Structure 1
Amino acid sequence: MTGRLWGVGLGPGDPELMTVKAARLIGAADVIAFHSARHGRSIARSVAAPYLRDGQLEEHLIYPLTTETTDHPGGYQGAMDDFYADCAARLAAHLDAGRDVVVLAEGDPLFYGSYMHMHKRLADRYECEVVPGVTSVSAARRSTGPSAV
């Protein structure tokens, strides 16, 4: 039996603005996957930290580049395609072992999120579900004050 893949939206950066479902899934997952630049700090992991538990495996998916140039034969796109293929293979190994995997996504997993690259590569082989999150665009409107309804 294979594990299940979850793309979990964390909302706009405040752990208290995550959905109850997101918090529950993060606490229950066997594996927590998150992205960061080479510096290693992950906003997504820091937002999810209150809901993590001891014993969970972590897959730290470190982008090979962000805005800099690359000597990869395929250029920037080639480097990113290889990166996402490698990440998908790492997550597939957990799923094949029967582990449930949560991929943390700032905001919403499908709104400019890296989760969509995992979903595209894994959804045809594994059970996948997306848990939406409040985007920063939506949160920004609310932070301007009460609505004029």
Structure 2
Amino acid sequence: MVNYSVSSDSLHVPQDKLHKKGVFDSIRRDFIVAFSQWDFDPLALTNPFSKDKDKCSSSSVHIWQGCEDKVVPMELQRFVSQKLPWVKYHEVTQGGHLLVYDKDTCELILRSLLLGEEEHSHFLYKPCDASAPS
């Protein structure tokens, strides 16, 4: 059996938030999903927002990946985004697994999603290294 040790430093979340039930439950669910058997192949998914006259085509799927995430490897998310080109992939250079708990990062993600603002996010969405997808 593998023993995982998760600290607030490795998740990039303040120690006081790590002990909150909602944060703990979120991490626990993420581990269950990551290490469970799935009933489908995620790489076989098709774009749920493809242009169809009966569907709204202004929606999209995004992945924001923290480069310092100790739970979900960024190489895995890069692989998924390369196999599913309709997924919009973003790397957050200083982000960990719980990057949405960082107020500034969360605000920029919400501004990007809700308002289409990308001009202030350039410092967040840089590839983590030279092997990142373009």
Q: TM-score, normalised by structure 1?
A: 0.28
Tell me which of the two structures has the higher relative contact order, counting C-alpha pairs closer than 8 angstroms and 6 or more residues apart.
Answer: 1
Q: TM-score, normalised by structure 2?
A: 0.30
Q: Which has the higher strand share?
A: 1
